[in-house]
Amino acid sequence: MRLQKETMSDIIIRKAAAKDVPKIAEIEKASIPQPWSEAAFADALTQENAVTLVAEADGEIAGFITGVFLFDNADIYSVATSEQHRKKGIGGKLLTGFFEALPSEVEAVGLEVRESNSAAISLYEKHGFERVGLRKNFYEQPRENAVLYTKQFSK
Which residues does the annotation mark as catalytic?
112, 124
Q: Return the axis-axis angle of helices 90-101 and 118-126, rounded to nearest 10°.
A: 50
Contacts by 42-49, CB closer than 8 A, 24 or more apart: 42/18, 45/16, 45/17, 45/18, 45/21
Rounded distance between C-alpha atoms, residue 71 and residue 128, angstroms:
21
**Phi, then psi, of 117 in degrees rounded to 5:** -85, 75
Q: Is there a contact between 6 and 100 (Cβ–Cβ < 8 Å)? A: no
